[in-house]
Amino acid sequence: MTISIIVPVYNAAPYIAPCLESLVRQKKRLQIIVVDDGSTDDSIAIVRQLASQYPSSGIEVYEQAHAGQAAARNIGLEHAKGEYIAFVDADDYLSDNWIEEHLAAIDDVDFVQSGYQRVDSKKVLIGSPKLPLFLQQFTTVWGRLYRRKAIEKIRFREGYIYEDVLFSIDLWLSGAKGKMIPYIGYFYTLNPQSTTSRPNIEERKLLFEALHQRAKTANVRGKIIIYYTCLRLRLHFLTI
């Protein structure tokens, strides 16, 4: 059994080594798919050095001209061979038993979702969100382990910020069944250089337009999910 982990990378030199080393330490066989999105720093050199340092780790390296995180994740999905798939951002990292905990819980569902800790660039704990697990990560693609068959027809929509919101909406509307587990093993780094930390009114407008367009063809349950997501996003944007 192979588990594919997709890691999009763009100018993540200060973070990518701890990220990949946390994947190498997992106790299950992994296909670690690293997609460099046209980085202009030392990211790709660090990735290749780690792939050489851990030759049996399953690290695969792919490069593309800068096209955004959605495009990088889509390339990762095209190369993924695992029965299970997860996404990890290049500035984040996992606890050593993250894969084991999620595999043990996935049984009869399509994906398993867990909690996360926020840390700074020095891995100092900032604090855990106080919301219930379901509300913490309603629209993020990280922090979940998916069955391949649950997402094999879903792709990230390119040209948007928060592209994982649209991916997650498509997942929910597909009828996929998920499970939340009371486990915290994903470490989310507050990176001031990330695309989601910089306000962009026009890109946010495009995201809301895409969500409203998707709502037009959704059933009642789908409309509720989408409009609730819009409310969550508006509240979130007030805090950054």
Q: Which of 36, 40, 44 is nearest to 63 (CA)?
A: 36
Q: Rounded CA gap, 94 and 18, in Å?
A: 9
Q: Does 137 have pLDDT greater than 80?
A: no
Q: How confident is the model over 143-195, as pLDDT tens digits?
A: 999 999 999 999 999 988 889 999 999 999 999 999 999 899 999 998 766 65
**Nearest of 144, 81, 138 to residue 113 by alpha carbon:** 144
Q: Is residue 142 part of a domain?
A: yes
Whole-number Å distance between alpha carbons of 204 and 225: 18
Is residue 92 one of the residues assigned to a domain? yes
Residue 28 lies in a domain: yes
Q: How far apart are CA 45 and CA 131, in angstroms?
A: 38
Instruction: Please report whether residue 223 resides in a domain.
Output: no
Write the single-letter amino acid at 54: Y
Whole-number pLDDT of residue 135: 57
The model's confidence at residue 67, banded by pLDDT at 50, 70 and 90, is: very high
> Could you tell me if residue 224 is inside a domain?
no
What per-residue confidence (pLDDT) applies to 176? Answer: 94
Q: Cα(58)–Cα(56) distance, rounded to whole angstroms?
A: 6
Tell me if 9 is assigned to some domain.
yes
Residue among 29, 33, 28, 36 nearest 11 (CA): 36
Tokens of 133: 């697990």
Domain range for 79 is 3-161+175-191
Based on the structure, what is the number of domains in the chain? Answer: 1
Residue 15, in any domain of the structure? yes
What is the C-alpha to C-alpha distance for residues 231 and 210, in angstroms, rounded to an integer?
A: 14
> Which residue spans within 135-177 are E strands per DSSP?
144-147
Helix (H) or strand (E) holding 3: strand 3-9
Rounded to whole angstroms, the Cα distance separating 180 from 60 reads 30
As given in the structure block, the two tokens for residue 92 are 């984040």
Domain membership of residue 70 (yes or no) is yes
Backbone angles phi, psi at 164, to 5 degrees: -70, -20
Q: What are phi and psi of 45, to 5 degrees?
A: -65, -40
Q: What is the pLDDT of residues 206-215, one digit of tens each?
A: 999 999 999 9
Structure tokens of 108? Answer: 């009869």
Domain CATH for 37:
3.90.550.10
DSSP state of 157: P
